[in-house]
Structure 1
Amino acid sequence: MKYKISEYAKLNKVTYRTVWAWVKSGKVQSELTTTGRILIVDNEVRKQTVVCIYCRVSSSENKSNLDSQADRMIAYANARGYKVDKVIKEVGSGLNDNRKKLIDLLNDKTVDVIIVEHKDRLTRFGFNYIKTLLAMQNRKIEVVNQVIDEREDLIADFTSIITSFYARIYGQRRTKRKTEQLIKKLQDK
Structure 2
Amino acid sequence: MNLAEWAESQGIARVTAYRWFRDGKLPVPARKVGGLILVDTPDEPEAAERRLTVVYARVSSSDQRPDLGRQVARVTEWATGQEIAVDRVVTEVGSALNGHRRRFLSLLRDPQVSRIVVEHRDRFCRFGAEYVEAALAAQGRELVVMDPAEVDDDLVRDMTEILTSMCARLYGKPAAADRAAKLAAAVADPGGDQS
TM-score bracket, normalised by the shorter chain, equals 0.5 to 0.7
2:95 aligned to which of 93, 112, 119: 93
Counterpart residue type for residue 88 of structure 1? V
2:55 corresponds in structure 1 to: 53
CA-to-aligned-CA distance 1:65-96 (integer Å, 9 cap, x gap): 00000001110111111221110000000102
1:132 corresponds in structure 2 to: 134
Counterpart residue type for residue 74 of structure 2? R
Figure out how many residues of one structure are paired with residues of the other and give that number.
Answer: 121
Give the secondary structure class of the aligned counterpart of 2:87.
strand
2:109 aligned to which of 107, 110, 132: 107
Instruction: Kindly indicate whether the alpha-carbon contact (under 8 Å) linking 2:71 and 2:119 is maintained by their aligned counterparts in 1.
Output: yes
Unmatched 5+ stretches in structure 1: 1-44, 148-152, 171-189
What's the CA shift for 1:159? 2.9
Please say if 1:163 is aligned against 2:165: no
Q: Please, what is the CA RMSD of the aligned residues?
A: 2.6
CA-to-aligned-CA distance 1:4-52 (integer Å, 9 cap, x gap): xxxxxxxxxxxxxxxxxxxxxxxxxxxxxxxxxxxxxxxxx69455200
2:86 corresponds in structure 1 to: 84
What's the CA shift for 1:98? 2.3
1:58 and 1:161 map into 2 onto residues whose CA distance is: 9
TM-score by length of 1: 0.57
Q: Which runs of 4+ in 1 moved over 6 A?
A: 155-158
2:98 and 2:135 map into 1 onto residues whose CA distance is: 19
Unmatched 5+ stretches in structure 2: 1-44, 169-195
The percentage of counterpart residues that share the same residue type is 34
1:161 and 1:93 map into 2 onto residues whose CA distance is: 8
1:82 and 1:157 map into 2 onto residues whose CA distance is: 27
1:60 and 1:158 map into 2 onto residues whose CA distance is: 17
TM-score by length of 2: 0.55
